[in-house]
């Protein structure tokens, strides 16, 4: 049933300020900045083709992550089922299923590419460090 509500897939850069994540008891501040979740264009992928969708993340052209959807810890139907026990999902909502191993630090001036091979590439610059204190 979960597959019936999925309209597409898209590349998404789920940025986290690791220093703030370490300081806080929860992740809202570490993930909540306005520029911390750029998304690419949605593509339609069939249920049968989804396991072969490959995510590749590069920083300054260097590959840091590569994984197929079939290698995710939790399946998309399991995630949708879990989420909808807690909240209502509406048309257009985006679910980020997590990230494969290979996360690392970013620095001002870096360029991040998040690619769903054969579908779309999201490119975004790392502009710099902001002031997060009171």
- What pLDDT digit, counting tens, does each position of 70-95 carry? 999 998 889 999 999 999 999 899 99
CA 53 to CA 4: how far, in whole Å? 18
Q: What is the pLDDT of residue 109?
A: 92
Q: What is the pLDDT of residue 88?
A: 94
Q: What is the pLDDT of residue 131?
A: 53
Query: Quick check: helix, strand or coil at residue 5?
Result: helix
| C-alpha distance across the termini of the chain, in Å | 46
CATH class of segment(s) 2-95+104-125: alpha beta
Supply the mean pLDDT for the chain: 89
List the Cα angle 103/134/106 in 5-degree steps: 20
Q: What is the pLDDT of residue 127?
A: 86
Structure tokens at 24: 């806080």
Pairing of strands 111-116, 120-125: antiparallel
Q: What is the pLDDT of residue 57?
A: 96
Mean pLDDT for the stretch of residues 15-31: 83
114 vs 47: which has the higher pLDDT:
114
Helices (H), 11-130: 18-23, 28-31, 76-86
pLDDT of 102 strictly over 80: yes
CA 120 to CA 44: how far, in whole Å? 11
129 vs 122: which has the higher pLDDT:
122
């Amino acid at each position: 049933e979960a597959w019936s509500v999925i309209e597409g897939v898209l590349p998404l850069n789920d940025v986290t300020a690791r220093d703030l994540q370490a300081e806080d008891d929860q992740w809202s501040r570490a993930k909540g900045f306005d520029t911390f979740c750029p998304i690419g264009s949605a593509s339609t992928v069939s249920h049968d083709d989804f396991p072969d969708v490959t995510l590749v993340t590069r920083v300054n052209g260097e590959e840091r992550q590569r994984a197929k959807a079939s290698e995710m810890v939790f399946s998309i139907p399991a995630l949708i089922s879990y989420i909808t026990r807690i909240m209502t999902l509406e048309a257009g909502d985006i679910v980020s299923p997590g990230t494969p191993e290979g996360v690392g630090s970013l620095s001002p001036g870096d360029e991040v590419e998040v690619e769903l091979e054969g579908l779309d590439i999201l490119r975004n610059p790392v502009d710099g460090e902001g002031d997060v204190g009171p």
